A and B are shown apart, each in its own frame.
Chain A
């Protein structure tokens, strides 16, 4: 176990530098005029040019520039956006609502996926099973740009069941509909994995033993099968965080939630290069850390897995 953690951490360091380098290279290094790419389509005077060149160390080599960028990331100094606000402060303002939104989404997705997945897994081939499989296929194919505005239109405006937009201090009630939209991005895969795991575990020897001991059906399924079926679902959470981040950009824009995704969207629209790179870098780091935690959790949860 110890060796696994060390190896995984070393791997994480490699991925961290690789992924941040990819982001950095995509943004600056390939640009024929990085300053123009930075400010977008607005004109740039000579004095601004000199100032920006000095600020972003553009006279140094690519690796040196990358080093400044990583140093900034690691010390939490993300620079300032073109609006003059510190990017670190903007992130600190935006995080809480995004975290609440994603947690709510993960919760909704997990509840539906596990409930429906277990029932489908037990009654394979039944009407319920076929209906859920078909529904997950449709949900899987729904792009978020379709789902978010349509959900807002149908449930927020036409039916009026939920608030159609959120305001500055979004309440849990206002976040419910956007969270359900986000949840639909990940619920289909989680459901299918749960279903497959339950169906497989039902045939396992230990389930037959449990039944032979005379345990009730609810205890066999609720404790023996479920606990073993949830292990593969947990690994999915790491991957899901990436999907949630991408989905949050569109969802927060549509429902007007002032979180990380909303700020990122505004940064893209206002051609605010430093803000986009800063936010994307931090999101990539969050993604990597969550995946690391999930991997370690996985190894701790399932004693059958030995990474030696």
Chain B
């Protein structure tokens, strides 16, 4: 952060930056720490699932169908006789991959649209804003159903690419709106006028002065979007148009388990719990960071 807040006179020593202030607040926030620990665990799970389980998630034996929890499989076995715990741990990988990649796609599209509409303004802003209105006229899941169904007609693929593109292409609208409004707010600040009078060109104004100040709220929106994307991936997989084939996914696990919920609850319970905790962690992190960076709440 390039700008510094003026600190009260009682504070001695070097003045803290806005980010330093936010970090000071964040360190004391319980929500922030709970969310961070959850996210680190899920990321570890996605990167090295064998750290958490030695069982093979694809080692399924029908004779073990719906066996209860035991020493070898602490969450029991599902309908296909697969280890529920192992499958749940391995399920984190695609959730994170799809969530992160889809959020990056949406982030880039939203950044381009938001910057263009906010910084250039004029007729371009009017056209882009109407376009976003039209996109918001299609409820997210309905659009996703149509697009994911269209993209995933290749029976060989496991659907990762199709879901990622679907979520990325449809999910950028809110992010673009946030970027547009924070660029417009930053554009009218005195320090931007001062920089312009000192002869800064549009590129320098945008990237050195406006963007760094508009970025915080954007990152917060993207963190929350990441949580939403992970939930949406599970929903699409549940409906049968997300991940498929031999992909291991919480959504597929939940979808398969709902059919046998009267027989055994474990195969439904554990992936649900992991999915809910992951989504909650990202939304809580976004919430905590927003609170820390919002000077009005201090």
Contact = CB atoms under 8 A, between A and B. Distances in A.
A137 B283 contact: yes
A283 B139 contact: yes
Contacts of B283: 137, 140-141
Interface stretch (A92-100, A229-237, A244-252): A244-252
B262 to A, nearest CB: 6
Contacts of A79: none
Interface in A86-113: none
Contacts of A249: 141, 145, 239
B235 A145 contact: yes
B251 A145 contact: yes
A200 to B, nearest CB: 14
Interface stretch (B7-15, B66-74, B185-193, B274-282): B274-282
Interface string B173-206: 0000000000000000000000000000000000
Given A14-B130, A26-B143, A149-B257, A41 B262 contact: no
B145 A268 contact: yes
Interface in B245-266: 251, 254-255, 257-258, 261-262, 265
Interface string A261-282: 0001100110001001100100
B143 A268 contact: no
B155 A41 contact: yes
A150 B142 CA distance: 23
A9 interface: no
Contacts of A277: 146
B134 interface: yes
A254 B258 contact: yes
A273 B139 CA distance: 19
A245 B239 contact: no
B147 A143 contact: no
A37 interface: yes
Contacts of B238: 145, 250
B278 to A, nearest CB: 9
A130 to B, nearest CB: 12
Contact of B276 (A14, A27, A37, A142): A142
A306 B280 CA distance: 40
Contacts of B3: none
B84 to A, nearest CB: 15
Contacts of B279: 141-143
Interface in A129-158: 137-138, 140-146, 149-150, 152-153, 157-158
B240 A268 contact: yes
Contacts of B142: 23, 245-246, 280, 283-284
Interface of A: 11, 14-16, 18-19, 22-23, 26-27, 30-31, 36-37, 40-41, 137-138, 140-146, 149-150, 152-153, 157-158, 164, 242-243, 245-246, 249-250, 253-254, 264-265, 268-269, 273, 276-277, 280, 283-284, 287-288
Given A144-B235, A152-B258, 5 more contacts: A145-B272, A246-B142, A250-B238, A268-B145, A284-B142
Give 9 closest A-B pairs by Cβ, nearest first: A18-B134, A246-B141, A242-B139, A143-B231, A19-B137, A141-B280, A146-B272, A15-B137, A145-B238
